[in-house]
Amino acid sequence: MSVLGPSGCGKTTLLNIVAGFLAPTAGNIVLNGKKVHGPGPERGMVFQQGALFEWMSVRENVGFGPSMKGMPKGEKSKIVDHLLDVVGLQDFKEKAVYELSGGMQQRVALARCLANDPDVILMDEPLGALDALTREKMQGLVLKLWKETGKTIILITHSVEEALLLGERLIVMAPRPGRIHTEYRLPFAEMGVGQDLREVKKHPKFGETREEILGMIWDMEEEIMGRQESA
């Protein structure tokens, strides 16, 4: 599921509430029939950047969750090795995280989150700081992981294309007050699994939806500006 919206509409706030870092002013977050109070390992989170522990190696970063649970060493290293294989960082296992490029660091962050085997993965603009090419590769990786693990992923982004490509459901939020504006159900994520994402983007429906959403967000931004000018 991807969440999209103009800046300041409360996307990150929503995610922080789901993660349990913030308490909602009204309403509840319910996961698997249980109410959420505070953060927990069943909701893993991938941050934009700079949330890795730079005093640990890649291996220790990925193994952080299992270590906290007190998992035995053998079992832990099996999980870590497997995940490093999945994200393609087996050769960088003993490197310090600050020696890796931005894209590699985000792959470590993904693997670290998966190591805990969460029910839901929350992603707060995880690819926002990456260059266009790396970003495209990472989008493919996120799709692959989504399909392979079958986990629910909530992805916050400010890129309409990314939201369309990765979201089976797409929610457009509106600001002041932050609310859900429109919800889409999209076929592109299914189409993109194991496919060239550029082919998906050429689909006529893709361009159409993109224009529609862009127009929607554009109108919201206009409205905010107008309100500010009249105020």
Partner 1 sequence: MELFRDLGGELLAVLTTLLTAAPYIIGYVLLILLTMIIWSFIKRMLTPKHDYSSLKTVTFGDESAVTSNSVASVVSIVLIFVLWGAFTGSKLLPGFMHAPGPFVGEGSFTYTITTPSGETDDATVSVLVHPATVETAAPEVEPGDGIAKNDSTAIGSYRSQLLRVDRNDEMGRGEETFITAVNDEPIAPGGEVQVSFGTVAMSDKGTLNIMPATGIQMEPIWLPAPEAVWTRLTEIATVGYRNSTLAEHLGYSLFRVIVGFILGALVGIPLGYAMGLSNWFRGWFDPIVEFMRPVPPLALIPLVIIWAGIGEVGKIILLFLAALWIMAIAARSGVSGVRISKVHAAYSLGASKWQIMRHVIIPNSLPEIFTGARVAMGVCWGTVVAAELVAAEKGAGMMIMVASKFQSTDIVLMGIILIGIIGFTIDMLMRWAERILVPWKGKG
Closer residue to partner 1 (CB): 121 or 160: 121
Closer residue to partner 1 (CB): 53 or 218: 53
Q: Where are the strands (E) in the chain, listed by range?
A: 2-4, 30-31, 34-35, 43-46, 120-124, 152-156, 169-174, 179-185
Establish if 156 lies at the interface with partner 1 (CB under 8 A): no
- The string over 170-199, giving b where at least 16 C-beta atoms fall within 10 Å of a residue's C-beta and e elsewhere, is bbbbbbeeeeebeebebebbebbeeeebee
Give how many residues touch partner 1 by CB under 8 A: 29
Among 7, 21, 73, 215, the residue binding partner 1 under the rule CB under 8 A is 21
Taking the CB of residue 36, how many other CB atoms lie within 10 A of it?
A: 18
The residue length of the chain stands at 231
Among 51, 129, 141, 191, the residue binding partner 1 under the rule CB under 8 A is 51
Kindly state the tokens that stand for 154.
């909530």
d(CA 30, CA 77): 32
Establish if 132 lies at the interface with partner 1 (CB under 8 A): no
Closer residue to partner 1 (CB): 27 or 50: 50
Among 5, 10, 64, 76, the residue binding partner 1 under the rule CB under 8 A is 64
Among 47, 81, 128, 129, the residue binding partner 1 under the rule CB under 8 A is 47
Establish if 24 lies at the interface with partner 1 (CB under 8 A): no
Q: Measured between alpha carbons, how far is residue 200 from residues 126, 140, 164, 168, 196 in Å?
A: 21, 12, 10, 14, 7
Closer residue to partner 1 (CB): 62 or 145: 62
Establish if 88 lies at the interface with partner 1 (CB under 8 A): no
Establish if 22 lies at the interface with partner 1 (CB under 8 A): no
Residues in contact with 83: Cβ distance below 8 Å, sequence separation at least 6, in sequence order: 62, 111, 114, 115
Establish if 12 lies at the interface with partner 1 (CB under 8 A): no
Establish if 40 lies at the interface with partner 1 (CB under 8 A): yes
As measured in angstroms, the least distance from the Cβ of 84 to partner 1 is 17
Establish if 126 lies at the interface with partner 1 (CB under 8 A): no
Q: Which residues on neighbouring strands pair with residue 53, listed in sequence order?
A: none
Of 74, 85, 140, the C-alpha closest to 114 is: 85
Pick the piece of the chain touching partner 1 (CB under 8 A) from 1-9, 109-117, 139-147, 192-200. 109-117
d(CA 168, CA 210): 14
Establish if 44 lies at the interface with partner 1 (CB under 8 A): yes
Q: Which residues bind partner 1 (CB under 8 A)?
A: 19-21, 38-41, 43-45, 47-48, 50-56, 64-65, 68-69, 96, 98, 112-113, 116, 122
